[in-house]
Amino acid sequence: MSRIRKDNAPQNFAILRHIAVNFLSKEKRVKRGIKNKQFLAAMDNKYLLSTLALA
Position 1 scores a pLDDT of 63
Asked if 47 and 40 touch (Cβ cutoff 8 Å), the reply is: yes
Mean pLDDT of 12-32: 93
φ, ψ (nearest 5 deg) of residue 7 = 55, -125
Position 44 scores a pLDDT of 96
Percent pLDDT > 90 in the chain is 71
Tell me how crowded residue 51 is: count the other CB atoms within 10 A of its CB.
20
Mean pLDDT of 26-43: 94
Is the confidence at residue 18, as pLDDT, over 70? yes
